[in-house]
Structure 1
Amino acid sequence: MYGYYLFVIKKIDFQKSMFWVVASVGILFGAIFNFLPMTPLWLDEAQSASIAGESFSSLVDALRRDGHPPLYYFLLGVWADLFGNSDFALRAFSGFLGCLAIVMTWFAARMHLGNKGSLIAASLIASSPFSIRYATEVRMYSLVIFLLLCVYVNFYRATKNSNIKNRLFYALAVACLLLTHYWSLFFVSVLILALLLKVKRSLGEEKKNYKSLIIWSMGACIPFAFWLPVFFEQLEHTGTPWSNAPRPTVVLALTLEAFGGGKGSEALLVAVALSLLVALGIFTRMGEKGSILEIGLNELSWLRQIFLISACTMLLGSTVSLLTNTAFQGRYAVFFFPFVIFSSALGLSRLPSKATLSLLALLLLLCSVSVARELSRDRTQLGEIASVVTSEGKKGDSIVFCPDQLAPAGNRALGEGYELFTYPSLGQGERIDWYDYRERNFEASPLLVAENFLAKSSSQQNIWLVWIDGFESFGKQCGSFRSELSKRLGGGETLVNADGDDYYNPANLVRYDSEK
């Protein structure tokens, strides 16, 4: 009998050890992958890099014509001053924020789920294809994840201990969030509404505390008030001209695709697995004996509150997008992402130890395959095109990008020494001017742009066209632009064909004889 008990104890110790090993590997895996991508910056990243390189006054003017709030770009500019503006250095800022998000997830989950649950949560966010995707991009979404977690941790602390420090950190996190992404307006609106409901249902000291949090929440909006003139100008002139509003079913599909890590079969399996774990976390509760799970809405008020605030944020944001005909992208579901992590971690932690270990290991394996597949795919074909131009062309060649959305990545990949033009403005194209963008594109004439381009081009060597059709508001203009150039310069030689299977942003490359 003693030998049997000894065997059971050793088996339990082995399972605990394996759990710590698997979870730690997941965290290490994510931390390493946050810094791995070596592919050229694609459009949105190159746009961020260009804006962040401006002084503060120029930064504000640049953002008037871009459509985002300023905090991320300001911080990225400071980071670039310290560590340089190479592709790796700029992406490392997001990777650093991704690592901070892992730590903050552990702190947030530990307040409710203990050591086991917090380690699962940290492992899930570290290995998440969604988290890694934006920890490897020069975009603001890793900062948004980190700030959302900061908001929650300090909000929870402020409700339990209403000292000035907790409230101040909460308000600071909210203020930073509002200056990082405009969907934060929906999140903060829902949060304040939730606090108002809490005030109505509370009594005594608790009611006083919630009233105080409302005041601090409103105070956190003051810094954004100084940005309102730029915000209103952006609303009128920028918006999202690169896409139209999706149907509600498309919003759900894009969200699942983003959380899974793309469109591959592995990404689909990750999305399904996360959906099941989220359902297990939010729609099961501990039975009266405390050891048997029952079907029903989760008994933990903190998780229900995060779910309601996250879901209402998504509902409000997608409804406004639909009513105003503005775009929705899967990355906007970042405001639902912390709930997905917490609910999944809770669901896993409530299973028997052996099941927790097995399912966590399986999910980490699926995530690693999905991430590896996504990171192995170049996000833009402009790197390949730049290599061809560098090897086949000469300094001083004229290169025109159609549409102009191909140009920022092209500028980064090609470097100096070429005459660069964009369709239809014939500017250099270091970044996109989104100001009244759709209207300008609708009014563009491929024939006139071709004539103006050839008049401006001073190259006596090669003329290169980087082009592709299909971008919103351009229709078939770039194909027509190519035809107009071919009429004047001959048929041209296609050296690179657009490859949408291997590249997120594909493009064609055509070389023309410059002799006219």
Structure 2
Amino acid sequence: MKLLFRLKQEWVIVSAIFLVGISILALSVPFPVFWIDESMAVNFTYQANDVMISDLLVSGAHPPLYYFIVKTIRIVFGDTEAVLRLVSALFFIFGGLFVYLLARDIGGKKTGYISLVLWFSNYFLIFYAKQVRPYSLMAFLSVASSYFLYKLLQGFKWKYALWYIIFGLMGLYTNYWFVLVFLSQVVILLITDRKNWKVLWAMFAQGLLFLPWGLIYILKFNNYESGEFIGPANLSMLRESLSYFATGQWLIVSLAILVGISGAFLFRNVEALKAKILGCLFIVPIVSAFLISQFIPIYTPGRREIVALPFFIILVAYIISRIDDRRWQASVSILLVLFTFQNVFDRGAMTKEWKDNDKEIIQNAVNASGKNDYYILYGLSNANFIYYTRRMNLGYDPKIIYFPEGMSQRPDSLGPIQALEKDGVKLNYELENLLDKIKSVKAGKIFLFTHDDAISPNVVDLLDSNLKKMDEIIPRDPHMGSWIGKITIYEGI
């Protein structure tokens, strides 16, 4: 009877935390329209499957799994922002379940409760739970895979091995940082039970099933010098990454950690092996990525390190729960939730102040254009233009000229733009090529999309010198950050 009561009490508390977490997520105001990374992800899924795979092997930052999930949802349920973003929200919620299960197995129910509060109040996770990007999926798969590894280390069962392989393999086919999660799991096996051949075989099977894709990717990939991959990581980037792990909460988290460590020394109730396991899962991916980035830059703060975040959360919860006092644990949990509500409301207030966004100014441009008009899409301004004009059902394909020309082949890469910043000769060639294209088409009007950067003024000067300016569409301030800084309308030649 007591056991039944305890089980009911446990799941009542867990359910209550889930409800609070889902409420926080529901109150969090997303971007009113897609950020360009979201549009690029959706636009990419309109290609044939073989083309998607080929592009990802040559120049993609992610393996194919997430794109195929997005493509499936888009085909079945539609391509609206709300539908596609819901996928990330669901992975965020599922991730909370596995965070609780792993934390409970490691430190008991109270560690599980605090972990769940930390998970659902973490703004880094909430931010990506509202976007069409793979980061919620990465965090979910990271903790789910590690949970089943922990179960295997407690006692081998084939069902645990199967789930470990499935979740681990899904992670490897979602993002290459998951290789570092896999590495941390190998380190854990070596620390805890290096002679456990059954678990080793499960790891081997997982790695073997990813090996063909991984080898082909290494041999074919040629995009290291473009976009976010430029430059080795430094300590300031590492500090920035850690700042996201408790956005808006670092004061309370830091104090709680210090008090928890004091309690751990006082009560001597920290199990060293469990602390090592959590430490490996948290530290190995971050440090490995940092070291690899000194040779092959792969480190971008505020994104892929999310794979290590679940273990940071559980480690913090484990430390806090070493003081076995309900008032202490409840006070920390309430403060964490209050800090997060403050973050959510502040972000929502800022978002509501925005007067314009990409969808609105693209709609304004479309309303002012016709079938014979051309759009010159500078840099990454193509992402939201392509997504939203597709949604507008124009009844015709808009006529597009990409600038630089290389953007037509790699519309989701900053590489072609950055190449012009480094090479004045190439910039002049691209400008001359653009003018030749404008002269060769019979355009009624030309709509030039530009960005607030160093290259855009050169394009504007070129068209100002050779065409008659008719009008401008400028986003009203304050507005959502965008790659569309201004649309200038010219008469065609």
Would you say same fold, with TM above 0.5? yes
The one-letter amino acid paired with 2:264 is R
1:189: which partner in 2? 183
Is 1:58 the counterpart of 2:51 in the alignment? yes
Higher deviation after alignment, 341-350 or 406-415: 341-350
Tell me the distance in 1 between the aligned counterparts of 2:128 and 2:72.
19
- Within the candidate set 405, 409, 427, 1:425 is matched to 405
Partners of 2:91 and 2:206 in 1: CA distance = 22
**Deviates further, 381-390 or 67-76:** 381-390
1:247–1:175 distance in 2 versus 1, CA, 3 Å: closer
CA distance in 2, matches of 1:146, 1:304: 21
Match runs of 1:302-313 below 5 Å: 302-313=274-285
| In structure 2, C-alpha distance between the alignment counterparts of 1:219 and 1:282, rounded to whole Å | 39
Report matched runs for 1:147-166 at 5 Å: 147-166=141-160
* Larger displacement relative to structure 2 (18-27 or 91-100): 18-27
Report the Cα distance in structure 2 between the residues aligned to 1:463 and 1:359, rounded to whole angstroms: 58
Whether 1:353 aligns to 2:326 is: yes
**SS state at 2:487 partner:** strand
SS in 1 for 2:238: helix
Tell me the equivalent position of 1:409. Answer: 384
User: Pairwise mapping of residues 41-190 of structure 1 onto structure 2 (< 5 A)?
Assistant: 41-63=34-56, 64-190=58-184
Question: Of residues 213, 227, 236 in structure 2, which corresponds to 1:250?
Answer: 236
Does residue 273 (structure 1) correspond to residue 252 (structure 2)? The answer is: yes
In 1, the alpha carbon distance for the partners of 2:410 and 2:370 equals 20
Q: CA deviation at 1:433?
A: 5.5
**Contact 2:407–2:416 (8 Å) recurs in 1:** no
The superposition leaves residues 309-357 of structure 1 with CA deviations (integer Å, 9 ceiling, x where unpaired) of 3212211101111222444222122132012211232344345433333
Residue matched to 1:329: 301
Aligned residue in 2 for 1:295: none
Q: 2:244 & 2:155 partners in 1: Cα distance?
A: 36
Alignment CA distance shift 1:498-1:188 (3 Å): farther
CA–CA distance in structure 2, aligned partners of residues 73 and 174 of structure 1? 17
Distance, in Å, in 2 between the alignment partners of 1:356 and 1:253 is: 27
| CA distance 1:112–1:88, change in 2 (3 Å) | same
Q: Give the direction of change, closer, same or farther, for the CA distance of 1:236–1:282 in structure 2 (3 Å limit).
A: farther
Q: Aligned in 2, Cα 1:56/1:466: closer, same or farther, shift over 3 Å?
A: same
- Closer/same/farther in 2, CA of residues 154 and 325 from structure 1, 3 Å limit: closer
Distance in 1 of aligned mates of 2:405 and 2:355? 25
Preserved CA contact (<8 Å) 1:398 1:421 = yes
- 1:227/1:391 CA distance change after superposition, 3 Å: same
SS class of match (1:158): helix
- Residues 449 and 488, structure 2, Cα contact 8 Å, conserved in 1: no
Secondary structure of 1:399 counterpart: strand
| Aligned-partner Cα distance in 1 for 2:206–2:15 | 41
Structure 2 SS opposite 1:227: helix
Of 438-447 and 108-117, more deviation after overlay is shown by 438-447
Secondary structure, counterpart of 2:279 in structure 1: helix
| Distance verdict in 2 for CA 1:363–1:175, change over 3 Å | same
| Cα distance in 2 for residues equivalent to 1:477 and 1:365 | 44
What's the offset of the Cα at 1:129? 0.8
**One-letter amino acid matched to 2:488:** R
Distance 1:515 1:455, change over 3 A: closer
Structure 1 equivalent of residue 431 of structure 2: 447
Mean CA deviation greater in 477-486 or 419-428: 419-428
Q: Percent identity of the aligned residues? A: 18
The answer for the alignment partner of 1:237 in structure 2 is 223
Deviation at 1:449, TM superposition (A): 3.7
Does residue 398 (structure 1) correspond to residue 374 (structure 2)? The answer is yes
Q: Which of 471, 478, 482 does residue 456 from structure 2 map onto?
A: 478
Distance 1:507 1:77, change over 3 A: closer
Superposed displacement of residue 152, structure 1: 1.5
Any conservation in 1 of the 2:88–2:136 contact (CA below 8 Å)?
A: yes
One-letter amino acid matched to 1:109: A
Contact 1:422 1:428 in 2 (8 A): yes
Does structure 1 conserve the Cα–Cα contact (< 8 Å) formed by 2:374 and 2:443?
yes
Shift of 1:55: 3.7
Select between 444-453 and 37-46 the one with higher mean Cα deviation: 444-453
Unaligned runs of 5+ in 1: 1-15, 200-206, 261-266, 291-297, 471-475
Contact 1:42 1:505 in 2 (8 A): yes
Change (3 A) 1:255 1:354: same
State the partner residue of 2:362.
386
- One-letter code aligned to 2:231: A
CA distance in 1, matches of 2:250, 2:260: 15
Match of 1:216 among 184, 202, 212: 202
In structure 1, what is the Cα distance between the partners aligned to 2:14 and 2:144?
A: 25
Q: Structure 2: how far apart are the matches of 1:279 and 1:230?
A: 47
Structure 2 residue runs without a partner (length 5+): 1-9
Q: How has the CA–CA distance of structure 1 residues 344 and 94 changed in structure 2, closer, same or farther, with 3 Å as cutoff? A: same
Could you tell me how far 1:230 is from its partner in structure 2? 4.0
TM-score (norm 2): 0.84
**Separation of aligned partners in 2, 1:286 and 1:379:** 54
- How many Å separate the matches in 1 of 2:334 and 2:409? 46
8 A contact 1:69–1:181 mirrored in 2: yes
The CA deviation string for residues 172-205 of structure 1, in whole angstroms up to 9 with x for no partner, is 2222111111111222223223423444xxxxxx
Instruction: Supply the distance in 1 between the matched residues of 2:355 and 2:223 (Cα, whole angstroms).
Output: 28
Residues 67 and 256 from structure 1, CA distance in 2 versus in 1: closer, same or farther, beyond 3 angstroms? closer
Q: Deviations over 1:280-333 (max 9, x none)?
A: 55675153486xxxxxxx435223321133212211101111222444222122
In the alignment, structure 1 residue 507 sits paired with structure 2 residue 484: yes
Deviation at 1:233, TM superposition (A): 4.6
TM-fit CA distance, 1:100? 0.9
